[in-house]
Amino acid sequence: MGVVLLVDTRQVPVQDRLEAVNAALTAGCVASRIVHKDPAGDVRASMHLWTIGPCKLVTAQATGLRQTRTPRHLRGDDQPEMLALAMHGPGVAQYGKGGHQQVLQSGDLMINDLTSPYDVNWPDDGGSSALNVTYDLLGVPVDLARRAAPLLPTSPLYGLVQHHLGTLIRQAPVLADDPGSSALATATVELLRALIVSATADDRLAPAVRADTQLTRIMAYARQHLTDPDLTPARLAAVHNLSERSLYLLLHNAGISLEQWIITQRLEGARRDLAAAGKRHRTIAAIARRWGFTDPSYFTRRFRHAYGVLPKDFRQAAWSPD
């Protein structure tokens, strides 16, 4: 999936625009309270959600509004723990979190930890673009991200990340459907991780973050490259500067069988594709190959063992109107 249009108020009747914008903000961001500057006036908004590898990029332009995420919203939220790397667009906004207040202008970067309350106010027309990344993928502790948030401009990496994210936002229509989008997402997450560690200005944290998040980063990398035929223990070890013995020891201590984990994840990916209406034109063998199963008979056996049904029967049931 490349892009989803969350809302374009030019396509929505005037009387329904307020509700449509609020629903789009919740779908593209997180549950929050939305208060519009002029709810009885000309409410306008345009929002898109781009899928780039395992990340979500949300772009938004709207008339003045205030968005507040409260403890109540947090209690009712079942989404994975995430943060947003945002670039502010036109206009001026005020952002508040944990007692820290920040005025944002066009081009400014901001890290917003979505696991705690915050308040952002666009007094006039404005907008922003935000890359939503799960903490599982990012591989840094939540408290480290919170500590880095107000310190971003002090990092020497700030300009580099700013340029990278700006390019990503401008080129999203092309990059989201590019075969290299997964690798691009990996590079972007790595830059964000480096920016967070750099902004804390504490060299002692860098090795600790690397050690504490090593397994998370290895599994995130494996998850992003499940469709690569050469996803092997040797490759995982080399990418993360480990010996294969060290890799297997790390996985063993975490109770993970790498080969079984890869097969399970690939089977799940194939199962999703078999049920997807947009992939009806692809043969079962082609879907199996995409997920690393070069032998159709082996794929069929593993699929039946995992789900208790043959791939062709599963697909037929998934497409059934009943």
Q: Which of 197, 221, 245 is the last residue of a domain?
A: 221
Q: Which of 221, 244, 259 is the last residue of a domain?
A: 221
* CATH code of the domain covering residue 312: 1.10.10.60
pLDDT tens digits, one per residue of 51-87:
988 899 999 999 999 999 998 888 877 778 899 999 9
Q: Could you give the 3-state DSSP secondary structure of residue 60?
A: strand
Q: Could you give the 3-state DSSP secondary structure of residue 13?
A: coil
Does residue 65 sit in the same domain as residue 37?
Answer: yes
Does residue 152 sit in the same domain as residue 106?
Answer: yes
pLDDT score of 237: 92
Confidence of residue 234 (pLDDT cuts 50, 70, 90): very high
Q: How far apart are CA 33 and CA 74, in angstroms?
A: 12
Residue written as tokens 């199963």?
Answer: 293
Confidence of residue 210 (pLDDT cuts 50, 70, 90): low
Does residue 155 sit in the same domain as residue 24?
Answer: yes
Q: How far apart are CA 114 and CA 121, in angstroms?
A: 16
The pTM is what?
0.64
Does residue 21 sit in the same domain as residue 169?
Answer: yes
pLDDT tens digits, one per residue of 29-51:
788 899 999 988 889 999 999 99
Confidence of residue 1 (pLDDT cuts 50, 70, 90): very low
**Residue ranges making up the domain that contains 73:** 3-221
Q: What is the mean pLDDT of the chain?
A: 87
pLDDT score of 322: 54
Query: How many domains is the chain partitioned into structurally?
Result: 2
Q: How many residues are present in the chain?
A: 322
Q: How far apart are CA 126 and CA 130, in angstroms?
A: 14
> What are the structure tokens assigned to 253, written together?
């201590």
Does residue 247 sit in the same domain as residue 279?
Answer: yes
Q: Percentage of the chain with pLDDT > 90?
A: 41
Residue written as tokens 């190959």?
Answer: 289
Does residue 212 sit in the same domain as residue 73?
Answer: yes
Does residue 150 sit in the same domain as residue 233?
Answer: no
Does residue 11 sit in the same domain as residue 69?
Answer: yes
> What are the structure tokens assigned to 130, written together?
């935000």
Residue written as tokens 């901001």?
Answer: 110
Lowest mean pLDDT among 43-47, 157-161, 302-306: 157-161
pLDDT tens digits, one per residue of 236-281:
999 888 999 999 998 888 788 889 989 988 998 899 889 887 788 8
CB 33 within 8 A of CB 67: yes
Mean pLDDT of 278-285: 88
Q: Which of 202, 221, 240 is the last residue of a domain?
A: 221
- Cα 305 to Cα 176, 253, 269: the distances in Å are 34, 27, 15
